[in-house]
Amino acid sequence: MRFNDAVVGTAFLLIAGAMIAMTFTFPAFPGQNYGPSLFPRIIGGGIVMCSLLLILREWRSGGRPWLVLEDWARRPAPLASFALMLGAMVFYLLASEPLGFMPTAFLIQLVLFLWFGVRPVMALIVAAVMTIAVQYFFGSLMRVPLPRGILDSVL
């Protein structure tokens, strides 16, 4: 599946505009000429420039169809894999707070490993080890507050 560059450029232009607009709600640091809004605005400005270049390049090339479906998008197995990846993201968004990060991440990894043909024992081991490693890295070392969910009393 391939989107026309003008479509991609327009989407990123809208996202960058929203990101820059949100920075106007950030608090200013007293006595500083810049604050927490500086870097998101710089990044947003870069995204705006790149988006405009994409749109201009596509406009100069004479235009192509907005969407071209590749061969994989016409076969059921790759489409199911794509849908499963999107479903995993939606599942994480919905389940991570009530279940917690560790059970949710473990389930997602286990299902994806099994779907993509990893042997069940290996899938269980890798999903468990990676879940613990990610929890340790982000939860302990980086101090990112990951949802605890049903494991609140244990963690």
17-68 pLDDT, tens digit each: 999 999 999 888 788 878 888 899 999 999 999 999 999 998 888 778 777 8
Q: Are 78 and 147 within one domain?
A: yes
Average pLDDT for 119-147: 94
SS3 at position 68: strand
Q: Place 103 in a pLDDT band, splitting at 50, 70 and 90.
A: very high
Q: Are 21 and 53 within one domain?
A: yes
Q: Are 43 and 109 within one domain?
A: no
The DSSP bridge partners found for residue 68 are: 2
- Tell me the pLDDT of the chain averaged across its residues: 91
In the listed set 51, 68, 85, which residue is the last one of a domain according to the structure? Answer: 68
Q: Are 94 and 128 within one domain?
A: yes
Q: Total structural domains in the chain?
A: 2
Residue with tokens 């994409």: 54
In the listed set 33, 51, 68, which residue is the last one of a domain according to the structure? Answer: 68
CA-CA distance, 3 to 68, in Å (whole number)? 6
Q: Are 7 and 60 within one domain?
A: yes
DSSP conformational letter for 28: P
CA-CA distance, 17 to 47, in Å (whole number)? 9
Element (H, E) at 23: helix 5-23
pLDDT of 155 reads: 60
The parent domain of residue 124 ranges over 74-151
Amino acid letter at 17? G
